[in-house]
Chain A
Amino acid sequence: MRGGLLGIEGLDRAEIDAILHRARDFQSSSNEAVGSTLHDRLIVNLFFEASTGTRNSFETASRRLGAESVSISAATSSGSTGGVLADTRKAFAAMRPHAVVIRHPASGAPHFLARHLDTPIINAGDGAHEHPTQALVNARTLLDRRPTLEGLRVVIIGDIANSRIARSNVHLLSKFGAEIVLCGPPSLLPAGLAGLAPGVRLTSDLEQAVRDADVIMMLRVPLDWKYETPMSADEYFQFYGLRHEHLQLAKPDALVMHPGPVSGRELSAEVAGLERSIILNQVENAVAVRMAVLEWVLQ
């Protein structure tokens, strides 16, 4: 049994490969339990932040592997000194789950739990840090359409500063030798990102970013400008919104990925309507990858 999955950064290429390969086995599985590899295991899903997609896919993945899962939604607003996490730690001492899946708005919350619990912790998204299973889902989805990630030119567009999905994707793609371009407004594109992993380039020029891209990953437009000076939605769309003319600059078969649901804020209706390219978050891969992750952590 492994210590858990706190981030992509700490994995090596072979480990990622193993998970992605195993996920393929699960892609075609039906809703019926495909096995009992995790029979009698108790998995707690601890969600301190709203999420339907990630949580549903973890619940489904647990069920299909024969594990028992309990989902707990907790509020972080109680603000009590001593903290919800400390209470959680005590509750788990009694429940003794085999693994804890945690989503939390604070970067490092899973690491805090991991420091204080022996239970393996699976990070389902922590603040602006990492969302490792989502990066694995994205990689699986790309590998369903491309033979390899190596040499792919991937551009990620949007609020990079506050995106855990961007960070996990950067770590994963970099380990596989992809070329990564991060693009967003300068206030959401801190210079430190260039040192995140090998092969990363930063630009605030969307046209330059999408030129010859194989894959364009769109992030949601920030709606919460906490601590940051806001910019107008019009200005944002004009300079960082993906429109048809940008797609002309990318490779002809470029894929556009979007976490969905698509709003008019980051993509033009025209691009959103293009059947050939747009890939919303794939429910099937979301479940298959999380099955592989649970198995990888617990076996």
Chain B
Amino acid sequence: MSSLLIQHGRIIDPASGLDVVGDILIEDGKIARIGGSGGSADETLDATGKIVAPGFIDMHVHLREPGFEQAETIETGSRAAVAGGFTTICCMPNTMPVNDSPTITNFIVERARQLAACHVFPIGAITKGSQGEELAPIGSMKAAGIVAISDDGRPVMNARVTRRAMEFARSFDLPLIQHCEDLNLSAGGDMHEGLHSTRLGLRGIPSASEDVMVARDILLAELTGVRYHVAHLSTRNAVAMVAFAKKRGLAVTAEATPHHFAITDAELVNYDSNYRMKPPLRSECDVTAVIDGIVNGAIDAIATDHAPHPAGQKMQELERCPFGITGLETAIGLSLEALFHTGKISLARLISLFTTGPDGVLKLGRGRLTEGGIADVTVFDLEGHWVYSSAQSLSKSKNSPFDGRKFRGGPFATVVSGRIVWRRT
């Protein structure tokens, strides 16, 4: 019997509306008591002046294992996750081989059980090899542990295949997560199409490449009744369409990444590949719309799309560099900066975007503090100033545009199943 007492923190649990200063007592990996004070435990964590919240969930992470272990592994990625305040992460299937079979799903689940610093839930492919043609064995993968299906990075261009995948996803009660990008419209693109791409002589990825697929998929979601989730939503029109779908009562949800609401395409000034990702950094008006979507509820969750790439792949011309940036360790800092310190949303709302939001999509039964529940707790602070250094990152890869950025508030300590797995030093 081991116990942990998290003392004197401000406990906020959006699911129950709780917001009190007090202690959380954890025994044997389960929450024994929420609130009150006193009691003794084997170990204590002083959370005075800090926020104590349900364990954060990142529903969109690339762990690169199996196949790209030079970029990241389940072990290193999960360590970066807990350093970013996450207790649960979901990994996308674009590994090598693609997670399109129960064999790979089992491998990931087993590796995570042995090595991961936090809970890891795999997301299975929609189609075999994410080639967009033949459906993957969705039911068998669910039995092996997947919590959603997605061909992230390789959007399903064929509307008929998408429709059928949605029908299966619905019957297996899994959400379908789409990376919305019409590949014909975006072909060859390096960055968001607009003034800045024109000035830099880089090929553009128009907002419309995202919009048309969100529109198509919402219509197909209506047709099939699937739970449909838009990954890393980044455009003004996509936000509006998701809001419209919700208004019509469809089971449509969406996530936004911190980089899509914290910075714009104007930041890509010096052809630095650390600003290159898909969807690309968008214009000011898109960023404003994404923030509005977070404020008014069109957007349900914040997810990082943590996409590690080894340094070697960044040492080349921008147009050859792979898309994607790391994001686990900067997510809370950026969210506080862009959403909370600016007064856009309340603290409870911010926490819900990392907890009940993603849990509502994935139905993991996480993201809330309940006595008797799994003791996943995220402790973060609102005011402490710190500087992010990608060199010090626990991720195997360092491709972050936020190296050297000053943050106000961020992760303080992370508790997974009752154990302190990370704390700020």
Residues on A facing B (Cβ under 8 Å): 9, 76, 81-86, 104, 106-109, 111-112, 115, 126-130, 161, 164, 167, 190, 192-193, 195-196, 226-227
Within 8 A of A (CB), among B167-204: 187-188, 190, 193-204
Within the complex, which residue of B193, B201, B315 is in contact with A129, where a contact is CB–CB below 8 Å? B201
**Counting CB contacts under 8 A, is B343 at the interface?**
no
Which residues from chain A contact B200 at a C-beta distance below 8 Å? Answer: 107-108, 129
CA distance A108 to B321 in the complex (A): 12
Which residues from chain A contact B197 at a C-beta distance below 8 Å? Answer: 190, 192
Number of A-B contacts (CB under 8 A): 87
Which residues from chain B contact A190 at a C-beta distance below 8 Å? Answer: 193, 197-198, 204
Q: A107-B200, A129-B202 are in contact. List 19 more A-B contacts (CB 8 A).
A: A76-B317, A83-B317, A85-B317, A86-B316, A106-B318, A106-B320, A107-B271, A108-B271, A109-B317, A111-B270, A112-B318, A115-B270, A128-B201, A128-B202, A190-B193, A190-B197, A190-B204, A192-B199, A195-B199
**Counting CB contacts under 8 A, is B39 at the interface?**
no
Whether the pair A81, B201 counts as a contact (CB closer than 8 A) is no
Whether the pair A82, B188 counts as a contact (CB closer than 8 A) is no
CA distance A164 to B196 in the complex (A): 15
Whether the pair A167, B201 counts as a contact (CB closer than 8 A) is yes
Which residues from chain A contact B316 at a C-beta distance below 8 Å? Answer: 81-86, 112
Within the complex, which residue of B190, B194, B312 is in contact with A192, where a contact is CB–CB below 8 Å? B194
Q: Which residue of B lies closest to A190 (CB)?
A: B198
Known: A82-B316, A83-B320. A107 touches B198 (CB 8 A): no
**Counting CB contacts under 8 A, is B2 at the interface?**
no
Provide a sorted-by-A list of 20 A–B residue pairs whose CB atoms are within 8 angstroms: A9-B199, A81-B312, A82-B315, A85-B315, A85-B316, A86-B316, A107-B200, A107-B201, A107-B202, A108-B270, A108-B271, A109-B317, A111-B270, A115-B270, A127-B202, A164-B201, A190-B197, A192-B193, A192-B197, A227-B188
Which residues from chain A contact B271 at a C-beta distance below 8 Å? Answer: 107-108, 111-112
**Counting CB contacts under 8 A, is B319 at the interface?**
yes
**Counting CB contacts under 8 A, is B313 at the interface?**
yes
CA distance A86 to B272 in the complex (A): 14
CA distance A192 to B313 in the complex (A): 30
Known: A107-B319, A112-B318, A115-B270. A196 touches B202 (CB 8 A): no
Whether the pair A130, B201 counts as a contact (CB closer than 8 A) is yes
The CB with the most chain B CB atoms within 10 A, among A104, A107, A126, A167, is that of A107
Whether the pair B315, A86 counts as a contact (CB closer than 8 A) is yes
Whether the pair B317, A112 counts as a contact (CB closer than 8 A) is yes
Which residues from chain B contact A9 at a C-beta distance below 8 Å? Answer: 199
Q: Which residue of A lies closest to B194 (CB)?
A: A192
Known: A107-B271, A115-B270, A190-B193. A196 touches B319 (CB 8 A): no
Which residues from chain A contact B317 at a C-beta distance below 8 Å? Answer: 76, 83, 85, 104, 106, 108-109, 112
Which residues from chain A contact B193 at a C-beta distance below 8 Å? Answer: 190, 192
Q: Which residue of B lies closest to A106 (CB)?
A: B317
Which residues from chain B contact A104 at a C-beta distance below 8 Å? Answer: 317
CA distance A227 to B199 in the complex (A): 19
Which residues from chain B contact A164 at a C-beta distance below 8 Å? Answer: 201
CA distance A195 to B200 in the complex (A): 12
CA distance A109 to B201 in the complex (A): 11
